[in-house]
Structures are given as C-alpha cells and as structure tokens.
Structure 1
C-alpha cells in the first residue's frame, strides 16, 4: 500500500511538504503524488497579494530553512493549473520524471520567483527532468482532482495512508513517527 499525496505548486506548505514526503520515502514508503489546484479562483496571470509578513510567514521561512529549501516571496500568487497539468501528464507516463519536474517547478516558483504559468518555462523544466510535454492534455489532472474529491481531499498538502488523512504541514518529528507507524502497518499486511 502506498501513501497518496496531493499538492499544489503555489502552496508554500506543499513546497516544504516535499521534505516531509522525503521522510516517508527514507523509511521505504512508496508515495504516489497527485496534483490538485487548490485555488481554482486564481486564473491566468495570478493575483497580486503584496508583502508577506507576520507569524505565519516567519514560521514558513523557518520550516523552509530547516528543510534546506530557499524561500523568496514575490508579490504574486501564480496560476498553477498549467504546471499541474504538465506534472500529471508526465506522472502518468513516468513518475520519476514527474518527481524531478515537480521539484524544479517548486524551486522555480518559491526559490527563483519565476512564472510557473509560462509554457516555455514548463517545457524547459520538463525537458531538463527527462520528459516531453508534446501533446499534453488536462485529462490526467482532471482524473487526479476527481480522485481527490472522492477521497475527501480539499486542502494541500494532504497525505492519506491506511484511511488516515493528514492535512497541513506537521513537524518533521511528527512525520518521522508517522513514517514508522505507516511502515509497520505495511509490513504487517
């Protein structure tokens, strides 16, 4: 049995959640990644949000630093559907390539402040990851989002294992403990 994980590229908790997924994998747990556009109201061009300050953003910065992930806020929340569409297209054919692509999209957005809506950027990141977006369609993302709805997933990041749904960013130590429990549960099956 695998852990199912839903994420969105514009979600800072998902960006840091990459670290939590690595914890699960370091325990030998298979994690199946799924894209989910968590803010469908944000359309092409994204939205301007201004400066990001306050305790929530300080916490995110500290968590990103602890995970070794650079975090540079821009004044805009991007439109993630094109990147999620590309991810799911790649994921359907080769999850390893899709994983490399996802890491590079997260880095482009949160570390480098790039526009992850740009087709040229996505094509380059896909090629760099070993994939090709020729003929990309939205059907794989539509299926991923339908699976999210049928699984009761309505926020990101969300991980599901053995009927337990974990939403939001939990501390690293919590994920270490959960990984041990999930791993033991998998061994007993």
Structure 2
C-alpha cells in the first residue's frame, strides 16, 4: 500500500497513509465534530492490534496536541465463528483455521512475540486460549472512560496471562481490575447490552472496506492500516490535525 492509496466507503474518500507520505490532499466528508478523533478498529484476540495500540499510544504521548485527541476503540472480529468456551489454544485454532503445520505456526508466533517484545509486551502464545471476542467487545462499548484501560487489560489477560476471555466471570474479573463494578458488568453481560453497537462497528468496517486490523481513522478522513511504526502514527496525528 505504500506510499499511500485512496479508498472509498462509508466515510467517503479517505487517504490511507504510509511512511513516505508527507503532503497528500485529504478529502473529509464526515468529520465527528471533535478537535481530533481517532477511531480504531481492532480485535482483542489480535496480537498486532496489541502491538499497534502500544505504538499508537507512544506516538500520542509525543504529539504536542495530545489533550485535543479523542480515541474511540471500535469492534472487529477476526474469527467470529469461534465457539464460546471451546478451550483450544491459539496454536490449535490457527493450525485448523489456516491449514498450517504446527511448526509453521510456532515460528510465526515466535516472530510476533519478538516484535511485541520490542515495545515492551510479553506475549505467551503457549498459554493463549482461542476465544470468541463478541462479549469482550460488548463490554468495551459499556466501559465509558475506562475503555482504553479495559482494552489493555483484555489484551494482557489473553496474550500474557492465559485467561479465557469469552468466559463471562473472567470478563467480570478483568473489568473489576480497571475499576468497573462487578454486579453491573455481570448484569450487562447477561443481557444483550451493546450487542447492536458491536454489530454496527462490524458493519461500518465492512462499508469502510476494512480487510485487516488494527485500522486507524483520524477525523474520518485519513487512515492507517496495520501496526505501523510509531513515526507513522505521529504523522497521522500531525497531518489530521493540520487538516482539521
């Protein structure tokens, strides 16, 4: 996709930037009204989303207008067909899903873990359990100003701690760890709360032609696809701020 490409969809014409893009024209047809809003489609069971979140946060911490940026984490499911509570490891699930040899998957996991370690993340694929992430995404929609903290806790629970993140009681424990109320969360998970919001995010992703995550959209005008280097995310923030 380098240095950049135009795409069209729900938000009109959007420029997808790459590391060599510095002065492209941006077409903005549907801004959100914030100074700078970044929407991020990601999946809790996606290691690149964890890496991308970490790199993006590092860029945001360097951005001079950080206090003017609102970040909204939106739902995406890489494997929506995963049965709830199936209990397979990520290794077993990927071997079946992709038809790859176990050693190939282990090599791939090792490469991802090494990349994650470069940004301070400890990924343990030996203990990571495949999970359906729909309930986790519902909970993220219900977390209010704890959304980013909850997402971080969910990533860590899944990729570092070997927790089963489609188990509702486990989700309650994770939510409590970031300051949410256990009884409230338990009741929300027992209902259909935020299910439509998750489906709406998934629908927007399809309309926006999102084919992989993480996917970052600034002011519904400029987008970056993938767990790009920190400098690319800083460029995204700078360019979107100048175009606002």
- TM-score of the superposed pair, with normalisation by structure 1: 0.83
Counterpart secondary structure, 1:152: coil
1:169 and 2:202 matched:
no
Q: CA RMSD in A?
A: 2.2
- Structure showing greater Rg: 2
After superposition, residues 51-90 of structure 1 pair within 5 angstroms as: 52-54=105-107, 56-73=108-125, 74=127, 76-90=129-143
Q: Is the 8 A contact 1:25 1:31 kept in 2?
A: no
2:178 corresponding residue in structure 1: 129
TM-aligned CA distance change 1:65 to 1:45, over 3 Å: same
Mapped to 2, the partners of 1:181 and 1:81 lie a distance apart of 29
TM-aligned CA distance change 1:156 to 1:144, over 3 Å: same
Counterpart secondary structure, 1:78: coil
Cα drift, residue 60 of structure 1: 0.9
Mapped to 1, the partners of 2:205 and 2:160 lie a distance apart of 27
Cα drift, residue 142 of structure 1: 1.7
Gap runs ≥5 in structure 1? none
Q: Is the 8 A contact 2:157 2:165 kept in 1?
A: yes
After superposition, residues 1-189 of structure 1 pair within 5 angstroms as: 1-26=36-61, 27=63, 28=66, 29-46=69-86, 47-48=88-89, 49-50=91-92, 52-54=105-107, 56-73=108-125, 74=127, 76-90=129-143, 94=144, 96-131=145-180, 132-133=184-185, 134-136=187-189, 137=193, 138-161=195-218, 163-170=221-228, 172=229, 175-189=230-244
TM-aligned CA distance change 1:181 to 1:12, over 3 Å: closer
- TM-score of the superposed pair, with normalisation by structure 2: 0.66
Q: Is the 8 A contact 2:85 2:167 kept in 1?
A: no
Q: Is the 8 A contact 2:41 2:73 kept in 1?
A: yes
Aligned length, in residue pairs? 181
**CA displacement, residues 52-77 of structure 1 (integer Å, 9 cap, x when unaligned):** 412x3232112111111111013642
Mapped to 2, the partners of 1:139 and 1:177 lie a distance apart of 32
